[in-house]
């Protein structure tokens, strides 16, 4: 299996622009997670899905952030409008229920 | 609420030294899981180990070993005969009984010098 796939790997954008991060989980995994890593806050869970349904979005920082999972093989995390403080590494992860496997991350820089 | 504390922000050792990374956790769950992940300079998160709260047996995998002590709420990680390739940030993490959300510690930056 190719593992969790994220795209793009790097994104540089200007404040106010819309940013969309993409994730393809490992086939057969029922759970999908979006984590964010920053120097100030470390690794924190933003949202997770079970069978494509959002279960816990309490970590989503504000309404500018939204996540979708239209099918079992694809999820997006969208930031609109983006702000410099959104600069971070965003990890997508998937799990069959016992082990969590992380993607390589998307490094987002908002200028 | 769950909490993981890795008090050591940075550790620097010379190659072949043994090094122990500390992890202390807090949880109200009676069943829970503890994890260690490695984040090398390339940035990915690499799974190292998972333990459940009912299994306090220490585990050894090559140069890596883990000491789980429920009495002190600690899950420490020891690298024996460290190597330069062990240089990375190491994260300890905790989840509840259903292993859904992971609560991570702040991470320990380990630098192994030649």
Residues A26-61 pLDDT 10s: 999 999 999 999 999 999 999 999 999 999 999 998
The CA-based angle A74-B97-B59, given to 5 degrees, is 100
Q: Which of residues 51-110 of A touch B (CB under 8 A)?
A: 55-56, 89, 91, 93, 95, 97-105, 107
Q: Which residues of B touch A104 (CB under 8 A)?
A: 43-44
For residue B56, what pLDDT is reported? 83
3-state secondary structure of B84: helix
pLDDT averaged over every residue in chain B? 93
**Interface with chain A: mutation pick from B102, B107, B109, highest number of A CBs within 10 Å:** B102
pLDDT surpassing 90 at residue B59: no
Return d(Cα A86, Cα B110) in angstroms, integer: 27
Residues of B in contact with A35 (CB under 8 A): 102
A33 in contact with B, Cβ within 8 Å: yes
Residue B100 confidence (pLDDT) above 80 = no
The pLDDT of residue A1 is: 62
pLDDT at residue B45 is higher than 70: yes
Sequence-distant (6+) residues with CB within 8 A of A9 are A104, A105, A106, A107
Q: What is the rounded average pLDDT of the residues B57-73?
A: 91
- The beta strand positions in B1-114, using DSSP E, are 3-5, 10-14, 19-21, 24-26, 33-39, 46-52, 59-61, 64-69, 74-79, 88-95, 103-104, 108-113
Nearest by Cα to B5 from B75, B99, B54, B79? B75
């Amino acid at each position: 299996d190719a593992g969790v796939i994220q795209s793009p790997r790097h994104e540089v954008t200007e404040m106010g622009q819309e940013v969309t991060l993409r994730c393809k989980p490992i086939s057969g995994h029922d759970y999908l997670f979006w984590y964010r890593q920053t120097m100030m806050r470390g690794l924190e869970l933003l949202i997770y899905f079970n069978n494509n349904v959002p279960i816990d979005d309490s970590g989503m920082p504000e309404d500018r952030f939204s996540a979708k999972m239209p099918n079992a093989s694809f999820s997006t995390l969208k930031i609109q409008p983006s702000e410099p403080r959104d600069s971070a590494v965003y990890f997508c992860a998937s799990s069959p229920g016992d082990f969590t496997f992380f993607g390589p991350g998307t490094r987002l820089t908002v200028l | 609420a769950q909490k993981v504390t890795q008090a050591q922000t940075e550790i620097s050792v010379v190659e072949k030294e043994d090094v122990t990374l500390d992890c202390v956790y807090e949880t109200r769950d009676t069943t829970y899981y503890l994890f260690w992940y490695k984040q090398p300079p390339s940035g990915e998160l690499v799974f190292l180990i998972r333990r459940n709260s009912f299994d306090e047996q220490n585990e050894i995998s090559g140069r890596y070993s883990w000491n789980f002590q429920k009495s002190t709420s600690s899950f420490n990680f020891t690298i024996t005969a460290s190597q330069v390739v062990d240089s990375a940030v190491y994260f300890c993490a905790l989840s509840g009984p259903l292993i859904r959300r992971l609560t991570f510690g702040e991470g320990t930056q380990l630098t192994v010098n030649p």
